Amino acid sequence: MMMALNVPTGQPPRWQTTELVSMLLSPGARQVVRYWLSSEHFLDEQNHPRVVLATPHEPHSFVDLVQIANPSLVPSVVLAELLRKGIVETLESGHVLLKRSAYAPWGATGSLSLGNYDDFVDIDKLRRRHNDS
């Protein structure tokens, strides 16, 4: 089930990703997290990121989130990356929770966001040191 991107216009975004997300995740996974933080379909009544069902059994599931954010991504691969990097956790109920360390209030000062790593041509060069494997 595909739905249109629905981000309120004229309203500043409430959340931004942290440096942790920018540095650890692939461009596709970052795109999914950014969409999760900006689409009213994936925010609760207080505009916090919703917990989403991991399987496609209800509208606005994690599968829907990934398919809307970037239809070329495989939801199970994105979920595995987010789990491996500690950006989300799965709950006993089968839902996926975006951890608070992955986002901060928009415009927060400090070292939360040092730039948009998607602007660089060679992202791996930024994340890897010569002794990384």
Cβ burial of 45 (10 Å; 0-12, 13-18, 19+) is exposed
Going residue by residue through the chain (133 aa), what tens digit of pLDDT does each one get?
344 444 444 566 789 999 999 999 999 999 999 999 999 999 999 999 999 999 887 788 999 999 999 999 999 999 999 999 999 999 999 999 999 999 999 876 543 444 444 443 343 443 434 444 4
Contact 98, 3 (CB under 8 A): no
Cβ burial of 90 (10 Å; 0-12, 13-18, 19+) is middle
Task: Tell me the one-letter amino acid at 99.
Answer: K
Domain ranges of the chain: 15-102
Whether the CA torsion 70, 76, 80, 83 is positive or negative: it is positive
CA-to-CA distance for 121 and 133, rounded, in angstroms?
Answer: 20
CATH of domain 15-102: 1.10.10
